[in-house]
Structure 1
Amino acid sequence: MTPPVLVFDIETVPDLEGGRRIHGLEGMNDGEVAAAMSTLRLAAKGTDFQPAHLQRIVAISVALRQGEGFRCWSLGEESSDEAELVRRFFDGIEKYRPVIVSWNGGGFDLPVLHYRALVHGVQAPRYWDTGHFDREAKWDNYIGRYQFRHTDLMDVLAMYTGRQNAPLHEIALLLGLPGKLGMDGSMVFGAFRAGKLPDIRAYCETDVLNTWLVYLRFQFMRGLLDKPGLTQEIEKVREFLRASPAAHWKEFLEAWSPG
């Protein structure tokens, strides 16, 4: 496939330091700040899920399909801070200028990445270019909702209305894929506070792989992959899984329906 394709997903927790500043919670410990932010958000919006600008990224996982290769991994190390994760993500776009693929990336992941890049001073000229640096980017860029340089599968399949958005887990199950294994987004903050970052990174990676496999079916539906090509791409993923010693990939392979 050309250009390279980069599938991505992020996992976040409430930005407690940001919450301190915005809500005037200086002097409170992290637990108190988290509780106060939850209460304030619940009262204002009926949900305690924080807005994009008050999300802190703790994991970014990607799958890269380039040339003959395919791999899926989490950016940085477990010890990497948020700024490094964000920088690595945008550096990958600068280096490869891939098609980027997400599930609800336009509705959540990218707005969070934008705010965190702003906070950490991360430059990403190729990502933001709409024709200033490259004239072709006017018609083929990451910012345009109805272009495919960023393909938000959830948004595209729901015909950009928002009324028919579907959860990735349910679409994955409909296609015979494993879906979410052992964790979902509501569990991430608790897992993070319990020191289970490896589990969060593994969970994020499985979401990315589910998204990639849905994308392959989407490309087949569009006629950009034929049946032999789809079979070949799926087998490439299975080869990646069989070659990995990681427990979450073994679990994914075992849960994946044959065919």
Structure 2
Amino acid sequence: MNTLVFDIETVPDTDGARRLLDLGNELTDGEVAELMFQRRRQATGGSDFLRHHLHRVVAISVVLRDGADTLKVRSLGEPGDDEATLIDQFFRGIDHYHPTLVSWNGGGFDLPVLHYRGLLHGIQAPSYWDTGDQYSEHRFNNYLGRFHWRHTDLMDALAGYQPRAGAPLDEIATLMGFPGKMGMDGSKVWPAFQGGDIDGIRAYCETDVLNTWLVYLGFQHFTGQLDDAMLAQEQERLATLLAEDGRPHLREFLDAWRGEG
């Protein structure tokens, strides 16, 4: 079975807000975003976290572990690609690999965002949405069933599907001895995007999926899918990939994991 760990990074959809609020083009993106945050704070009594459909996807990063013992970590598309291209590549990957999807809070955030944004861009994702009409095995194990394993939302599963028991990926990864956040977090994505640092956003997203992959390996061990030797082998496979890849942020992740940073 192929496994695809994924994470997205988003910024405010300022173009969408201009249409919804009939703002025209007089305000800058930064001013529109601040207006969006202000309206959200008023609606929630303090939180400026935007509703799912008002997020624009600027990065999708994945760890792919396929049945041929291949392990890859990458961000989809190129730094200059638009949102539609990134989302289309994500769902095309599902059509091609038919993987088990793995996320941290993907059911609560990432996938609903991808649903709304994919709809807006006219993207097709037949394998993702199939619940047994195309593949009979999806009737009882599909991407949409909260208690199915075809999409394993680690945060949801580990919390026993109790919203009050959810935990941040950064804290769980750190408690397990993995690097956790490294220099950037979600609150810094919008300022980084405004500053043109899309490469930094993509690198941050990749470290998030690496943390998720390592937690998932621990989860597989916890549930009996990996024994001690298999877990060590998969962790070493990742360490080798990070050492040989050559990209600085992956080397920094490896050093932090090994306690050498």
> What TM-score range do you get, normalising by the shorter chain?
over 0.9
Query: Any idea what SS the aligned residue of 1:8 has?
Result: strand
Query: Any idea what SS the aligned residue of 1:10 has?
Result: strand
Report the Cα offset of residue 139 of structure 1: 0.5
Q: How does 1:1-259 map to 2 (within 5 A)?
A: 3-27=1-25, 28-45=27-44, 46-66=46-66, 67-257=68-258
Report the Cα offset of residue 14 of structure 1: 0.4
Report the Cα offset of residue 29 of structure 1: 2.5
Query: Any idea what SS the aligned residue of 1:59 has?
Result: strand
In structure 1, stretches of 5+ residues that fail to align are none
Report the Cα offset of residue 159 of structure 1: 0.5
Cα deviation 1:26-45 (Å, max 9, x = unaligned): 23232221121111111111
- Cα distance in 1 for partners of 2:257, 2:135 equals 42
Which residue identity is paired with 1:30? D
- Percent sequence identity over matched residues? 57
Give TM-score, length-normalised by structure 2. 0.96
In structure 2, stretches of 5+ residues that fail to align are none
- Cα distance in 1 for partners of 2:137, 2:225 equals 22
Query: Any idea what SS the aligned residue of 2:63 has?
Result: strand
- Cα distance in 2 for partners of 1:208, 1:188 equals 16
Cα deviation 1:77-101 (Å, max 9, x = unaligned): 0011100000000000000100000
- Cα distance in 1 for partners of 2:132, 2:226 equals 29
Which residue identity is paired with 2:89? R
Report the Cα offset of residue 24 of structure 1: 2.2
RMSD of aligned C-alpha atoms?
0.9
- Cα distance in 2 for partners of 1:173, 1:29 equals 38
Which residue identity is paired with 2:2? P
Which residue identity is paired with 1:191? A
Query: Any idea what SS the aligned residue of 2:177 has?
Result: coil
Which residue identity is paired with 2:8? I
Query: Any idea what SS the aligned residue of 2:156 has?
Result: helix
Query: Any idea what SS the aligned residue of 1:243 has?
Result: helix
Give TM-score, length-normalised by structure 1. 0.97
Cα deviation 1:91-120 (Å, max 9, x = unaligned): 000001000000000000000000110011
Cα deviation 1:111-165 (Å, max 9, x = unaligned): 0000110011110011000112122211010000000000000000000011110
- Cα distance in 1 for partners of 2:36, 2:222 equals 43
Query: Any idea what SS the aligned residue of 1:256 has?
Result: helix
Instruction: Report how many aligned residue pairs link the two structures.
Output: 256
